Structure 1
């Protein structure tokens, strides 16, 4: 990653309106029950608004009782009504909270599942330009942000709106002059809140994006920490991280700062409203225009009136973060997928292994072609070696054969059937593959070897391991073939490679691809593996990419590639006799000998 790869400029969601439309469409199936929850939240808020008026009546009854007979029955009746209302309000809040928590987790689960499935439908070229850490951030951080907003902010916003409008209505029917005074004292709060929300909006999108950049960098450096240490690149990695981390700090600090000042600001406005209502109420009470109970009611209504202001602000900032997170999630879900192949009926059965490239052209980007008019016919059972300098297009040919990428023009045929007429799954089923970069997942040795192949017996697993010379090592592990391979199990690069080769042996597919399969093992182990590979290749069409030319001397056909073209073709003896590019390459590896 370059030093500026994680640089994120302050930005807000490109289209907040469209983002929310996408989110609403996504949760459409849950909308009826969500509406029920929001109605319950509104109902609980309305019940809370009735309380101050009833307390006003109790206050007036008690005040009247100070100079006359206290109406205990009326007070008890109002008190019982208040208890009943507050119990109903509690139950409504509990039910709506339960509903929203349930729906939120179901939506989060569905989002994670859809992203996981989406990853399998994306072309590999997407991951050429997007870091793994950024994709992981969408699965974790962005979905968590959406979850928190759905669980808290939406119901809070509905409750706050109901409280705000309801308390305003109740104040107006209680006393107009005091209501106008309360509104005047809170107008400044509205103005400041709108100003802050508009100014802070840009930082929430930057915060989510910078978080993805941090995850991407950490994942990249951690996975290659040995290389970083070997090259003494810790300082450079730290500088890059510090830069990305500073971007996150700046955007997170600004967004959280503006979010954090909302509550103190709204508390000030609320307290200021208390003062205004208390002074005006005292004047009106002394003049006999209102009762003391009205002042008590207004003291509560002013709190119910100003409290939603801070809730509006918090919900607004949360919704902005959610818009940024949702945009990243739905941008990923809307990425162009691999073409749907459900309508394809061609299938490969009992294949012979005849492979033909006809005038294939390909480039990872439209402006740069890597493979130029590549044509070759490989007969069934032949062992084909592909050699050439780095960047010649060797691995690209294998990627195209496996349909990891789609060719720009031309055709690739297996037993006369173009691979584009077959489903990718059918093409992949015909190959067993061993790559230079080993992949071992957390599971037992047996599970790693049998990976996604059904009906494999223990004897077949052991035979495969004996063939590649790793059976003895596996039996020295604490639980043999049932040893779990994880961070606590130490395997060398060569041992990992041997396990992946055994995995290929177990799959026993008719076509074989070896991409630098022996590059991580010593010479003696390489010889053992070569014997196993020679046995495996009998009767199978095999493609071998190798830099060690000694490992491909017995190949039936050697394709020498340079700049995306086949520049020489023949077997080892023929190419040496020709004295061309291959002969120079071979002799350069063994000139000392």
Structure 2
């Protein structure tokens, strides 16, 4: 009997140890995806603003010269990209998925540093500018932009010292004001994290309103209107056209880019075509092929 009790106690300790080890292994496995997200933050060099030039009030001129960027030696994402945008001009960037459009936008915002080439804001090299002051004058909607848990007002103004009137004005420009008026609490309506209580189109319009709230000098949109119906998108585009701001918009929908002053077509990291909508529709090439595919749907 004593031998059995001793064996049973030892077996219990062994089983408890194995269970603890299994829990530890499970914790490590679950941490791997989190570490993949944290690695870029840990490895990234902190931004240093001291000694950098204040850009002042931006006019909205933007120039890119022979830009090249690669995540690895084998993965060149942006290849020798050059273009210039004058203040108030509307430039659209389009092309197949994976052609480097979003990476180009990250480079323009200073989130990534190019391997070669230069970026100029109002003829000033971005490397010499206080990038935080540059970003403060830019309205940005990225593909992975998200809402926060809080009121619609909080989501539109963020940490900026803006008023209810400013928030309503931004909502009007984004074609969102009528939707907010129909909500029981109006601008004080509380939404869940990532805006789960809103439709896809409403979430995008809140993000657009946030980008417009501070009256930016430059707008950077990455598929910012992809979930909007044609009528709502037309309202947003009409509002943006009345603003005297520079716009660089990444989009696939023809209705989004057809009124652009200049369209840049990217493929495998390079700009392979550029011109107005009418010019590119007449020219045999990737843009015409993509456009015909959409028009046939």
TM-score (norm 1): 0.44
CA deviations 1:300-334 (Å, max 9, x no partner) are xxxxxxxxxxxxxxxxxxxxxxxxxxxx9xx97x9
State how far apart, in whole Å, the 2-side matches of 1:489 and 1:355 are.
Answer: 36
Answer whether contact 1:467 1:532 (CA < 8 A) is retained.
yes
Which residue in 1 is equivalent to 2:72?
A: 365
Asked if 1:566 corresponds to 2:271, the answer is: yes
Task: Kindly indicate whether the alpha-carbon contact (under 8 Å) linking 1:386 and 1:545 is maintained by their aligned counterparts in 2.
Answer: yes
Q: How far apart, in 1, do the equivalents of 2:47 and 2:172 lie?
A: 41
Note the C-alpha offset of 1:215. 5.8
2:20 is the counterpart of 1:211: no
**Misfit runs of 4+, over 6 Å:** none
Distance 1:479 1:591 in 2: 43
Where does the alignment leave 5 or more consecutive residues of structure 2 unmatched? 1-12
Instruction: Give the corresponding residue for 1:556.
Output: 261
1:54-93 aligned at under 5 Å gives the runs: none
TM-superposed CA distance for 1:477, in Å, is 2.2
Task: Measure, in 1, the Cα distance between the counterparts of 2:127 and 2:293.
Answer: 40
What displacement does 1:489 show?
A: 7.2
- 1:483 paired with 2:195, answer no
Q: Give SS of 1:211's match.
A: helix
Which has the larger share of helix?
Answer: 1
| Residue pairs, 1:121-520, within 5 angstroms | 208=24, 210-214=26-30, 335-454=42-161, 456-486=162-192, 490-520=197-227
Question: Displacement of 1:423 after TM fit?
Answer: 3.0
Q: Deviations over 1:6-53 (max 9, x none)?
A: xxxxxxxxxxxxxxxxxxxxxxxxxxxxxxxxxxxxxxxxxxxxxxxx
Q: Secondary structure at the match of 2:263?
A: strand
Deviations 1:320-375 (A, max 9, x none): xxxxxxxx9xx97x943424414333121122211111111101223321111111
Relative to 1, partners in 2 of residues 1:417 and 1:215: Cα closer, same or farther, differing over 3 Å? Answer: same
More strand by share: 2
**Per the alignment, do residues 404 and 209 of structure 1 end up closer, same or farther by CA in structure 2, a change over 3 Å counting?**
farther
> Are 2:224 and 1:521 equivalent residues in the alignment?
no
Shift of 1:584: 2.1
Offset from partner CA, 1:464-511 (integer Å, 9 cap, x none): 212222222212223211122127972111111111111111021111
CA distance in 1, matches of 2:153, 2:191: 10
Structure 2 distance, partners of 1:464, 1:490, is 21
Partner of 1:167: none
Output the CA distance in 2 between the equivalents of 1:543 and 1:340. Answer: 24
Separation of aligned partners in 2, 1:445 and 1:215? 33
RCO higher in 1 or 2 (8 Å CA, sep ≥ 6)?
Answer: 2
Larger Rg: 1
Whether the 8 Å CA contact 2:55–2:130 is kept in 1: the answer is no
- 1:131-172 per-position Cα deviation (integer Å, ceiling 9, x unaligned): xxxxxxxxxxxxxxxxxxxxxxxxxxxxxxxxxxxxxxxxxx
1:159-217: per-residue Cα shift (whole Å, max 9, x none)? Answer: xxxxxxxxxxxxxxxxxxxxxxxxxxxxxxxxxxxxx9xxx8xx87x865631533677
C-alpha separation in 2, matches of 1:337 and 1:466? 38
Structure 2 distance, partners of 1:460, 1:560, is 36
CA RMSD of aligned residues (A): 2.7
Judge conservation of contact 1:433–1:513 (CA < 8 Å) in 2: yes
Show structure 1 runs of 5+ residues with no match: 1-195, 220-327
Give me the whole-angstrom Cα distance separating, in 2, the residues matched to 1:410 and 1:495.
38
Residues 517 and 340 (structure 1), Cα distance of their counterparts in 2 relative to 1, 3 Å cut:
closer
Aligned positions, number: 276
The answer on whether the counterparts of 1:560 and 1:569 sit within 8 Å (CA) in structure 2 is: yes
Structure 1 residue 422 displacement after superposition: 2.0
Decide whether the 8 Å contact of 2:217 with 2:246 is kept in 1.
Answer: yes
- CA distance in 2 between partners of 1:403 and 1:464 (Å): 26
The 2-side partners of 1:215 and 1:576 are apart by 49
